[in-house]
Amino acid sequence: MIEEPSALQGVLDDTLEAVDRVSRETAARPELREYGIVNFVGQGIARVRGLPDVKSEELVRFAGDLLGMTFNLDPDEVGVVLLDDCTGVESGSEVWRTNRILDVPVGEGMLGRVIDPVGRPLDDGGPVSTHSRAPIECSAPSVMDRAPVTVPLQTGTKVVDALIPVGRGQRELILGDRQTGKSGIAVDCILNQKGKNVICIYCAIGQRSSSVAKVIADLRRFEAMSYSIVVVAGGDATPGLQFVAPYAATSMGEYFMRQGRDVLVVFDDLTCHARAYRELSLLLRRPPGRESFPGDIFYIHSRLLERYTHLRPELGGGSLTALPIVETEEQNISAYIPTNLISITDGQIYLTPDLFQKGILPAVDVGKSVSRVGGKAQPAAYRAVAGDLRLFYSQFEELEVFSRFGSRLDERTRQTLARGRAVREALKQPQFDPLPAAVQVAILVAATAGLFDNLAPRRVADASARIRETLREELPHIADSIEAGAQLSDLDREALLKLAEKAIAWKQPSP
Ligand SMILES: Nc1ncnc2c1ncn2[C@@H]1O[C@H](COP(=O)(O)OP(=O)(O)O)[C@@H](O)[C@H]1O
Ligand SMILES: [Mg+2]
């Protein structure tokens, strides 16, 4: 028997209403969540029973809101990396799934903040005010999405900008023994971005809290926090937190890059990062390889640094520049982690304790440093002065070593040595004093033209300071054109030399 269509409609309406009610009721009910039981908890890791459907790198929660991240998914056990200090957690306690891959807050609200790698504030600025989050791991932009590196990233350090220039979107390693000024160069680079519309992220990994506090104080003192984010996983943090720190910092930077902004990220340092990963891997019984590092140690650093690039204009043209720091032992740059990173990055700035002890600061060894892509991005005016400066400087360093043995030198050698020493003196620079491109070019023009030959070191420093004081006032158009990336004309060069001569002759008025 066929019922009336109107009756059918009524049945349908009733059914729909019932479905609607059920779905409303289930939404109000607490969701079902999976939990596991802690089998073992030790320094930095835990092993958990249960959790059959948990995903790799999923965030899990222990009692007391303590966080962990799943790492090893074995059939009978899940290896969890602890992100918090879980000394209170006992075996037998519960571990809850969050159904979330580890992510971090991203956005403008992060600027000026000091946070840990999962986005919890470490300063007294209250909760972080952002609405978006991004996973800490994401695939790197494809080759087709990348543009060549063409815009300079001025570090403000003469020896770097003139001889080992860095471009926006480049990955330049800073490597050297402890206490050679690695962090110093990176922090100066952040200070130099003031007013240049570059967002800076300083990511501390495994550093002593006193060093981190000093960097934060320096950034505050020079008013660099307004455009910076500091991500801290100090030496007292769990190895898990240290391991995720650089990925988290990269995701925070990527957010700005995708909006077409320029971002600089400093990792201080990746040696500690590698050690944290080694510790976790050994604890989780992954097979060790060379120097006890796990086999995928190259991969974890390459997948991090591959995310750094300059995007195509169609994608906003933003850039993500990396200055990873690596600490060497006894100047051994051919150790495992340093060679890995040298091969992943687009060049390295190498600092040595020998130069540091001689007072040649920044202690950059020009011969062993290289920038594989930054040269194309260097402001044109540098090329006029620094064209063969690199070659000249390396030759001078070699000559200096040999001339130590012989006392009788011909006139030309003597002159080269004098010029080389003058250039070296002109390249010296104290910390916290980044210089604009125009001032750097003016000083280098004077040094390479021989104006500083045979001057006492003190007088070179004074003359350089005077050039800095007077350049903007006396030759504003030249300063502007250098900063804008224009070539240095012969007339400009003459004018800069005149200014330098005046600066050398200038005597501080006695009080
Ligand atoms: N250009 C410089 N001029 C003078 N002192 C410097 C310079 N660069 C670094 N220093 C000093 O050298 C010491 C070590 O520097 P730091 O950057 O902490 O080294 P690293 O990070 O390599 O361990 C610090 O006391 C710092 O103040
Ligand atoms: Mg350091």
Tell me 359's DSSP state.
T
pLDDT at 289: 94
Report the pLDDT averaged over residues 386-415: 83
Q: Cis link prior to 269 (omega < 30° from 0)? A: yes
CATH number of the 104-125+139-378 domain: 3.40.50.300
More confident residue, 374 or 320: 320
pTM: 0.91
Report the pLDDT averaged over residues 70-80: 92
Dist. CA 442–CA 385, nearest whole Å:
9
More confident residue, 204 or 30: 204
pLDDT of 7 above 70? no
Q: Cis link prior to 379 (omega < 30° from 0)? A: no
Q: What are phi and psi of 445, to 5 degrees?
A: -60, -45
Instruction: Compute how many other C-beta atoms are within 10 angstroms of the C-beta atom of residue 382.
Output: 23
pLDDT of 143 above 60? yes
Which ligand number lies closest to the CA of residue 269?
A: 2
Mutation test of ligand 1: which of 190, 361, 427 has the most ligand atoms closer than 8 Å to its C-beta? 361
User: For strand 58-62 and strand 66-73, is the pairing parallel, antiparallel, or unpaired?
Assistant: antiparallel
pLDDT at 1: 47
Report the pLDDT averaged over residues 462-474: 95
Domain residue limits, the chain: 35-102, 104-125+139-378, 384-505
Radius of gyration (C-alpha) of the chain in whole angstroms: 28
Dist. CA 333–CA 369, nearest whole Å:
11
| Nearest atom, ligand 1, residue 269 CA | 21
Instruction: Compute how many other C-beta atoms are within 10 angstroms of the C-beta atom of residue 116.
Output: 20
Dist. CA 237–CA 246, nearest whole Å:
14
| pLDDT band (50, 70, 90) for residue 43 | confident
Could you please report the per-residue DSSP string of 13-49?
HHHHHHHHHHHHHHHHSPPP--EEEEEEE-SSEEEEE
pLDDT at 394: 86
Dist. CA 466–CA 504, nearest whole Å:
8
Q: Could you tell me the end-to-end alpha-carbon distance of the chain, in angstroms, rounded to an integer?
A: 116
Tell me 167's DSSP state.
B
Is residue 372 part of the annotated active site? The answer reads yes
pLDDT at 388: 78
pLDDT at 411: 86
**What does the mean pLDDT of the chain come to?**
92
pLDDT at 511: 64
pLDDT at 28: 56
Report the pLDDT averaged over residues 272-297: 95
Retrieve residue 413's tokens.
Answer: 């050698």
Which ligand number lies closest to the CA of residue 176?
A: 1
Q: Which of 298, 196, 308 is nearest to 251 (CA)?
A: 308
Indicate if the alpha-carbon torsion angle 203, 207, 208, 214 is positive or negative. negative
pLDDT of 312 above 70? yes
Q: Which of 22-31, 104-113, 263-272, 493-502 has the lowest mean pLDDT?
A: 22-31
Measure Cα distances from 73 to 46, 79, 93, 296, 423 in Å.
12, 6, 19, 17, 58
pLDDT at 387: 67
pLDDT at 386: 66
Which ligand number lies closest to the CA of residue 185?
A: 1
The correct CATH number of 35-102 out of 3.40.640.10, 2.40.30.20, 2.40.50.140, 2.60.40.10 is: 2.40.30.20
| Burial class for 486, CB neighbours closer than 10 Å (0-12, 13-18, 19+) | middle
Residue ID of nearest Cα to ligand 1 atom 15: 181
pLDDT at 10: 72
Task: Answer whether 179 contacts ligand 1 (Cβ < 6 A).
Answer: yes
Query: Residues in the chain, how many?
Result: 511
Retrieve residue 352's tokens.
Answer: 């040595």
Residue 182 CA, ligand 1 centroid: distance in Å: 7
Residue ID of nearest Cα to ligand 1 atom 3: 430
Dist. CA 180–CA 354, nearest whole Å:
9
Chain position carrying tokens 């001078």: 396
**CA-CA-CA-CA torsion for 121, 125, 131, 134, nearest 10 degrees?**
-30
Tell me the sheet residues that pair with 350: 175
Q: What is the pLDDT of residues 317-354, one digit of tens each?
A: 999 999 999 999 999 999 999 999 999 999 999 999 99
| Nearest atom, ligand 1, residue 351 CA | 22
Dist. CA 163–CA 426, nearest whole Å:
13
Q: What three-state secondary structure class fits 397?
A: helix
Mutation test of ligand 1: which of 159, 180, 214 has the most ligand atoms closer than 8 Å to its C-beta? 180
pLDDT of 441 above 80? yes
pLDDT at 87: 84
| Nearest atom, ligand 1, residue 362 CA | 1
Q: What is the pLDDT of residues 160-176, one digit of tens each?
A: 999 999 999 999 999 99
Task: Answer whether 434 contacts ligand 1 (Cβ < 6 A).
Answer: no
pLDDT at 406: 66
Q: What three-state secondary structure class fits 83?
A: coil
Task: Answer whether 156 contacts ligand 1 (Cβ < 6 A).
Answer: no
Dist. CA 370–CA 166, nearest whole Å:
10
CATH number of the 384-505 domain: 1.20.150.20
Residue 353 CA, ligand 2 centroid: distance in Å: 13
Task: Answer whether 352 contacts ligand 1 (Cβ < 6 A).
Answer: no
